[in-house]
Amino acid sequence: MAKIRRKIHKFIPRSYQLNKNLMDHKRILALILGGGRGTRLHPLTCERSKPAVPLAGKYRLVDIPISNCLNSGINKIFVLTQFNSASLNRHVKNAFSFDLFSKGFVDILAAEQTTENANWFQGTADAVRQSLSHYKSIDFDYMLILSGDQLYQMDYRDLLKNHLDNDAELTIATIPVKAEEATSFGIMKTNQENRITSFIEKPSAEELKDWSSETSDEMKAQGRNYLASMGIYLFNKEILYKLLSENDGTDFGKNIIPQSIENQKVNSYQFEGYWTDIGTIKSFHEANLDLANNLPQFNLYENESQIYTHARMLPPAKVVGTTLERVVLSEGAIVYASRLENTVVGIRTRIGIGSTIVNSYLMGSDYYETLKEIEENRFKGIPPVGVGERCYLNNVIVDKNVRIGNDVNLYGFQDKGEIETDEYKIVDGIMVIKKNAILRDGFTL
């Protein structure tokens, strides 16, 4: 009987074995890298880490990779961070908890000084290396390394299948880009088997002619002939440990990946969906406003790819006498404005009578003020939380808990250059009102 069983197993199709492997979610451990100080997203990162920055009125950036993991059946997730991690810790704790019968988790791993290492994280690879002791008790065969500041929807099971089909030791998710975009990314060169043969970091326009790769006909028609690294890596566990022990480099893109291409089986997984790296105020502003379009590139309204976040018990939004044109309106908002256009309105946002808001993102508030608190603050000359009456905002990002008085006019345009005060910063033609800032009646800029 044993011989018969061995013969039967021998002739089981490999596709069936792969599908069986894909169902075993204990095989993958996901690490989400929280990034450094997030200086390019300043001042949104003054009091919070990049993954904790509010997105689309009700989410946080970290919700995107976590949701992609959960939708892919991956439920063992660490988030690595070291800067301003308090609000991120709070959000993850409140949003992602599993029942007592599940072995799943979403845990924060903050940088820590130990007897072996007194330094903070020096880069992406160093962060993973310093946290190795925390993975020892976890049963996994593959490590999925993700960024905490990207907007996209991906089924990582497809990435794993590609990895197994090609017998890869490391698979890098790549996205086809145009020549004018390629100079801002790490570019991969692949052969006919999608094996990565070489890598260059942010090539010059002159160097690009030698770095095109085979892409789909649809991508070619759009002029997207260069494969950019998405910063998404799937490692075999043993290979990752080997690379981290043999190479003391601190960064995956600059150190670990170039070495692995020379010595390991490194494969490219081409992704052709929507993806954007939210690394600057401009890209952050554009990604949020795109959500208000009729057919946004990032689809929040998917049945199979939901975005999970902290469930708040808030009342529905209330709108009185307002013209709405391409607006994302979050729960708990109270809107008496005259007009909102191409705008994202966050939770608990209050907007007064006669105000017009265009091309802007209002992150909302963490709390409601009582009528008594509003009256007491008005007596002190402090406006209520939210946007007052007869205001005009254009090209503005309003951070959490901001107080904007009546008759305030805010314009963010390129010709103003880069300006920063205690209350706001203008960068790339976008005015960012800082968290908890107060702009009194009549303020104009």
| pLDDT tens per residue across span 169-200 | 999 999 999 999 999 899 999 998 999 999 99
Instruction: Give the closest residue to 407 by CA, choosing from 363, 440, 433.
Output: 440
> What whole-number distance in Å separates Cα of residue 261 and Cα of residue 263?
6
Domains 2-290 and 318-439 share a fold: no
Whether domain 318-439 has CATH 3.40.50.300: no
What is residue 368's three-state secondary structure? coil
Higher pLDDT, 34 or 5: 34
> Please, which pLDDT band fits residue 5 given cuts at 50, 70 and 90?
very low
Task: Report the mean per-residue pLDDT for the chain.
Answer: 89
Q: How does DSSP assign 278-339, residue by residue? A: --SHHHHHHHHHHTTSSS-SS-S--SSSPPP------PPPEE-S-EEEEEEE-TT-EE--SE
CB 436 within 8 A of CB 401: yes
CB 81 within 8 A of CB 49: yes
Distances in Å between the Cα of 437 and the Cα atoms of 33, 280, 339 are 29, 21, 24
| Least reliable range by pLDDT among 122-126, 269-273, 305-309, 412-416 | 412-416
Report DSSP state, residue 135: G
Q: Where are the domains of the chain?
A: 2-290, 318-439
Distance of CA 381 to the CA centre of its chain: 38
Q: What is the pTM of this model?
A: 0.90
> What whole-number distance in Å separates Cα of residue 234 and Cα of residue 240?
9
CATH classification code of 2-290: 3.90.550.10
> What whole-number distance in Å separates Cα of residue 170 and Cα of residue 164?
10
Evaluate if residue 325 carries a pLDDT over 80: yes
> Please, which pLDDT band fits residue 26 given cuts at 50, 70 and 90?
low
User: In the predicted model, what is the mean pLDDT of residues 421-427?
Assistant: 95
pLDDT score, position 18: 46
Evaluate if residue 248 carries a pLDDT over 70: yes
| Least reliable range by pLDDT among 114-123, 183-192, 345-354, 398-407 | 114-123
> Residue 281: what are its φ and ψ, rounded to 5°?
-60, -40
Distances in Å between the Cα of 293 and the Cα atoms of 3, 188, 275 are 62, 32, 16
Evaluate if residue 50 carries a pLDDT over 80: yes
> Please, which pLDDT band fits residue 34 given cuts at 50, 70 and 90?
confident
| Least reliable range by pLDDT among 274-278, 321-325, 337-341 | 274-278
pLDDT score, position 254: 83
CB 429 within 8 A of CB 412: yes
